[in-house]
Structure 1
Amino acid sequence: MALPSFDNGWREGQSVKPRILVLEIKDKDRPDDKALGWVLVEREETYRRDPRDGTIYEASIRLSYQRITAKFSHRDGGKGRFDGSYSRHFNAVSLTSTSMSKGAVFLDLPGLDGQRIGTYLMNEIVQWVQQWPETTVNSIELLAGQAHGDNKSRRNWFYEQFGLVFDYTDPEHREGRSRPMLAGALVKVETWKQNITEHRMLDYLAAVLYAEERATSELQARDRACAQLIAEQRRAEARPVRWALRRLYIHYASTVLAGLVLTALVGMAWIKMA
């Protein structure tokens, strides 16, 4: 029997991603290098239906993320969430909130900044709200205090790549509000696929266990080799002359044997020629 959180589910007759996925994050500038880190993502979706006809009148999605580290830490950072929602009453969707209220997007993953993780999460929200293509996308407001310097340009482009168009209130584009648009006009962005790979939780755990078993096997082999070297050293210290003669025999035995065989062959050939 499948595990609901780890395997694909079904919604409206279509297959959907597992509730829990593990993201393998590589450097976007060096995607062939080893992974920079691993991030756990949990998807929570809620749907409220009209009891009269079963149609959806409210829905929400929450993508909670947390970095996987070798050593657990209680310090803040390395986790957060992205939210989205739908309301039939308002005929609208939100890209930043589980309700029709204002929301915000913050990515808190120290050491993994700029690696398209935010793009991955927002793209999941965008695809989810496009279930209702004729709804209006709630306006997103950008504030001056949300970003500074180069972060401002990255912040603005983060939203603009999904098709949002902003009316900025200042020449530096520090503040602005997105124009009205339909959810169906949002743009799906898949640049994250260049350096981010989705893994099922069971596949990730299996790989971790395999790596541990392999490391344990290699460690045991090294322990056996060390034990053999120690035993050999003790034999040499106990009987150094006998140990030296034995090593000479082992080293030259094959050479002596080959010489004897060659001598025998030459002798046989000489006898036949005589």
Structure 2
Amino acid sequence: MALPVFDAAWRGKQRLKPSVCALEVRDRAKPDGEPIARLFVQREESYRRDDRDRQMYEASISLSYQTIEPKHSFRSPVSGSFDASYSRGFLEGEASVSLVDGALFFDPAELRGQRIGTYLMNEIVTWAQQWPDAKVRSIKLLSGQAHEDNRDRRNRFYERFGLKFAYSDPAHEEGLSKPMPAKELTPVTTWEANIRERDPREYLAELLYERDSMALEASRRDTVIKNLSARLEEANSHPIRWAARRLWWRLQPILVQGAMLLALGALVWIGLRSR
């Protein structure tokens, strides 16, 4: 029996991603290089329907992540989550989606700029577009969230998803996103250039295969080293015999070829004498 947490599910004709996947992250400047980070991402969705008309009136999604660190690493795993929600809005009569639950940050800091946040936000945006006419609740940008080295990146991060802001200062440190329907949000797939979604089962199987291959190669090299050590020990114990044997193995092809030539010459000479 398959493990449901690793398998895709279906909502009507829509294919849903597995609850848990692994992310393999490469440097965005070297997308063909070796991975620089690996993460687990857990996807939790909840939906609540009105018993009277079976209409969706509340939903939420949480994308929790945790970095995968080697055993005995000096770095501890770092975790966090991106959360969003939908409400049909009984009182206001207007459906709405919230893309950000409070300030949005991605840790660890050294992985910022590697499109992991883009991946997570894109999952949120795609989820929110189940309700195309729902109003996107305003996102508030605060000056305390922005510094000169990351302000432009923060603003560009949101704007790439189609959000437009009314900034309250010339430096664009503070602002409020303008009202818009979810259908006008823009999915961003640039993360596909350096991030790969992996089935944890397949990923673990590959790691086990690599470990077994490395163990086999290490065993082969160990055998070679032992043979070389035995030869070295023999050379040190019996240097004359070792040198004579080495000389024999080097001269053997020449001596064999010389013997063959002599035999051939002898056959030719005998043939000529017999005429």
TM-score, L = length of structure 2: 0.91
SS at match of 1:5: helix
Match of residue 201 from structure 1: 200
Structure 2 unpaired stretches of 5+: none
Q: Does the 8 Å contact 2:21/2:42 carry over to 1?
A: yes
Match of residue 23 from structure 2: 23
- Provide the identity percentage: 50
Counterpart Cα distance in 2 of 1:83 and 1:91: 18
Give the one of 97, 102, 110 matched to 1:93: 97
Q: Does the 8 Å contact 2:69/2:76 carry over to 1?
A: no
TM-align CA RMSD: 2.0
CA gap 1:145/1:167 in 2 versus in 1, 3 angstroms: same
Runs of 4+ with >4 A deviation: 72-77, 269-274
Counterpart Cα distance in 1 of 2:261 and 2:79: 74
CA gap 1:268/1:76 in 2 versus in 1, 3 angstroms: closer
Deviation at 1:76, TM superposition (A): 6.9
Is 1:171 equivalent to 2:163 in the alignment? no
Matching of residues 65-214 of structure 1 within 5 Å: 65-71=65-71, 78-89=78-89, 90-97=94-101, 103-214=102-213
Residue by residue over 1:207-265, the C-alpha shift from the partner in whole angstroms, topping out at 9 and shown as x without a partner, is: 11111111111111121112112222222233222222222222322332233234334
Q: Does the 8 Å contact 2:68/2:77 carry over to 1?
A: no
Aligned AA (1:241): I
CA gap 1:262/1:53 in 2 versus in 1, 3 angstroms: farther
CA gap 1:239/1:105 in 2 versus in 1, 3 angstroms: same
- For these two proteins, the number of residue pairs brought into alignment is 269
Counterpart Cα distance in 2 of 1:125 and 1:77: 23
CA gap 1:46/1:270 in 2 versus in 1, 3 angstroms: farther
Q: Does the 8 Å contact 1:22/1:40 carry over to 2?
A: yes
Q: Does the 8 Å contact 1:62/1:81 carry over to 2?
A: yes
Q: Does the 8 Å contact 1:167/1:179 carry over to 2?
A: yes
Match of residue 100 from structure 1: none
Which has the higher mean CA deviation after the structures are superposed, 229-238 or 133-142? 229-238
TM-score, L = length of structure 1: 0.91
CA gap 1:238/1:59 in 2 versus in 1, 3 angstroms: same
CA gap 1:120/1:239 in 2 versus in 1, 3 angstroms: same
Q: Does the 8 Å contact 1:168/1:174 carry over to 2?
A: yes
Which has the higher mean CA deviation after the structures are superposed, 136-145 or 199-208? 199-208
Deviation at 1:138, TM superposition (A): 0.7
SS at match of 1:264: helix
Deviation at 1:55, TM superposition (A): 2.8
